[in-house]
Amino acid sequence: EPTQPTNFIRTIVEEDLKSGKHKSIVTRFPPEPNGYLHIGHAKSICLNFGLARDFGGRCHLRFDDTNPAKEDVEYAESIKESVRWLGFDWGEHLYYASDYFEQLYQWAEQLIRQGDAYVEDLSADEIRAYRGTLTEPGKESPYRNRTIEENLDLFRRMRAGEFADGAKVLRAKIDMAAPNLNLRDPVMYRILHADHPHTGDKWCIYPMYDYAHGQSDSIEGITHSICTLEFADHRPLYEWFLDRLGIYHPRQYEFARLNLTYTVMSKRKLLQLVQDGDMSGWDDPRMPTLVGLRQRGYTPESIRSFCEQIGVGKSDSWIDMSILEDSVRNDLNVQAPRAMAVLRPLKVVIDNYPEELVEEFDAANHPNDPTMGSRKVPFSKVVYIEQDDFLEEPPKGFFRLTPGREVRLRYAYIVKCESVVKDAHGKVVEVHCSYEPASKGGSAPDGRKIKGTIHWVSAAHAVNAEIRLYDRLFTVANPDKGGQDFKSFLNADSLEVLTDACLERSLAEATAESRYQFERQGYFCIDAKASAAGKPVFIRTVTLRDSWAR
Ligand code: ATP
Ligand code: MG
Ligand code: MG
């Protein structure tokens, strides 16, 4: 049963199944292994794998590896891992476009024999100049009317390695006056004496995307070939190749790509941020990559629900980053156990609390979900609270700790500030309080109202930790806009490191995939790479509320 809201592509699939046009559907996700997957790819993955899941079809993972220059095995491995992490499974159906090179070559010879392709000697610049413009028809190449025999001979010699890179290309012979520029004799093959991660040195000619893609879809029996809008103009070419070859003809459908504010998604720009050292790697918690979001503490569920929520449309639009942040916030609100962590500690001494006494208070792991159980939180004479939960001269409406007034220490007691200790600069470094023994658990025996409740950590039991507060990568919604270098909009405050945080004892047990709500602070996960024994490092996934809303 479909679990996703409907969209125009789902409607098409439903109709194709109902009319019997297809008995079952086959989709594919076709990344080029030249970078890490990002949140935009997640939209395509959720769409393609989601259709297969919901309609009992299958979805292929196909590496569109036709350009050896920029591709790498490292990328392919990471892509597989990210698709699995998102919760999808291609089963037996892992394919490489490069596995079709021989078949694609044979089909190219067929097109030559049909008079539908020719070997071109013009340079790339000349081809561009001959191509014309939207308002001006192109000019035919002097090599356009070579005989079939000559074309076959030259193409075979291209494959055999007789010519240098760029010396010749194979072009489809379509129409140099076509209004759609993609149909003005597009290049099908180029010469590239380069090793390929998958086929080694077997080939020195490589097919272009437009020639390889549709035929790969055809070979795999794809029923619905779903791509982003910028390929709509390529669809007539997609169809032309399939029609001329007379092979099984999948249908191409286009949807709007994801554009997300406060980030960039072009692989070139992401690579630049990594290479320039602005980011610690592709998995830096600020990156919009799936490895980055994972490192940041995003759950696969939150990304899937984000993709469902934004829907699939036919015109380009922008999605606000707060929608993505809300999706992880909502997910973690339900599944993350609560804990107390003091990020910027201020020492509080409870003068009338017995020196050696340690009490343990029951703390619910989740306010609305009793099945998540509870834990014991130790309490003793010295505790830490947040620096900003104390103010010597509070403004009106400040209900936290302040001289002469009371506050509730969550789960424990009501305490009253009696005095403070200052350093040489007048900064408060220690707060002295008294506690009311009869307020155990947090309520006053005489029923008086205590407005403020703050979190705390027992000094004697605290786990010392480093906290990395991550924020948005850019300070403006669209760093790509305008003539300015996108890097000039990098958020200089996208990472703040706190080295003296004090966490409640139970957080010593945090493991790589565990996530928490630090009460009143936000959602946090452990940074498994940076943590050391006895000194965990936590990453803030997202704040409790949207601090960017205006
Ligand atoms: P780049 O141009 O940065 O190299 P790409 O789109 O070429 O990115 P591919 O690896 O070719 O990246 O993409 C694989 C699939 O993911 C394609 O089907 C593509 O349409 C889809 N995809 C890529 N970016 C987005 C996006 N922002 N939103 C939705 N789908 C996307
Ligand atoms: Mg690309
Ligand atoms: Mg691409």
- The residue behind tokens 């079709």 is 100
pLDDT, position 545: 87
- Asked if residue 420 is part of any domain, the answer here is yes
Distance 292 CA to ligand 2 centre (A): 19
Are 436 and 468 found together in one domain?
A: no
Positions marked active-site: 32, 257, 267
* Tally of domains in the chain: 3
- Asked if residue 362 is part of any domain, the answer here is yes
Are 371 and 430 found together in one domain?
A: yes
Q: State the Cα–Cα distance between residues 54 and 45, nearest whole angstrom.
A: 13
Are 399 and 543 found together in one domain?
A: no
- Asked if residue 163 is part of any domain, the answer here is yes
pLDDT, position 547: 67
Are 346 and 452 found together in one domain?
A: yes
Are 471 and 517 found together in one domain?
A: yes
- Asked if residue 91 is part of any domain, the answer here is no
- Asked if residue 468 is part of any domain, the answer here is yes
Q: Nearest residue CA, atom 27 of ligand 1?
A: 40
Distance 229 CA to ligand 3 centre (A): 12
Distances (CA, A) of 473 to 262, 282, 283: 7, 13, 13
- Asked if residue 83 is part of any domain, the answer here is no
Are 490 and 396 found together in one domain?
A: no
At which of 442, 461, 480 does a domain end?
A: 461
Angle subtended at Cα 510 by Cα 506 and Cα 515, rounded to the nearest 5 degrees: 105
pLDDT, position 487: 97
Q: What is the CATH number of the domain that holds 130?
A: 3.90.800.10
Are 280 and 357 found together in one domain?
A: no
Are 457 and 540 found together in one domain?
A: no
pLDDT, position 4: 60
Neighbours of 177 (CB within 10 A): 13
Q: What is the CATH number of the domain that holds 515?
A: 2.40.240.10
Are 342 and 448 found together in one domain?
A: yes
Neighbours of 21 (CB within 10 A): 12
What is the distance in angstroms between the CA of the first residue and the CA of the last residue of the chain? Answer: 40
The structure tokens listed for 242 are 């399939």
Are 363 and 320 found together in one domain?
A: no
Q: State the Cα–Cα distance between residues 176 and 167, nearest whole angstrom.
A: 21
Local mean pLDDT, 10-residue blocks, the chain (550 residues) = 74 97 98 96 98 97 92 90 98 98 98 98 98 96 98 98 98 98 98 95 97 98 97 98 98 97 95 96 97 98 97 93 97 97 98 97 96 97 97 94 96 98 96 97 92 96 97 95 90 97 94 93 95 92 78
Are 420 and 522 found together in one domain?
A: no
Number of residues written out for the chain:
550
| Residue-number span of the structural domain to which 410 is assigned | 338-461
Please report how the helices 300-310 and 73-86 are oriented relative to each other, as an axis angle in degrees rounded to 10. 80
- Asked if residue 49 is part of any domain, the answer here is no
Q: Is 151 annotated as a binding residue?
A: no
Q: Which ligand 1 atom sits nearest the alpha carbon of residue 268?
A: 3
Q: Which ligand 1 atom sits nearest the alpha carbon of residue 43?
A: 29
Q: Is 253 annotated as a binding residue?
A: no
pLDDT, position 182: 98
Distance 25 CA to ligand 1 centre (A): 22
Q: Nearest residue CA, atom 7 of ligand 1?
A: 32
The model's pTM is 0.94
CA contacts within 13 A on the Cβ side of 345: 25
Are 127 and 195 found together in one domain?
A: yes
- Asked if residue 430 is part of any domain, the answer here is yes
At which of 415, 436, 461 does a domain end?
A: 461
Q: Which ligand 1 atom sits nearest the alpha carbon of residue 45?
A: 16
228 lines ligand 1 (CB under 6 A): yes
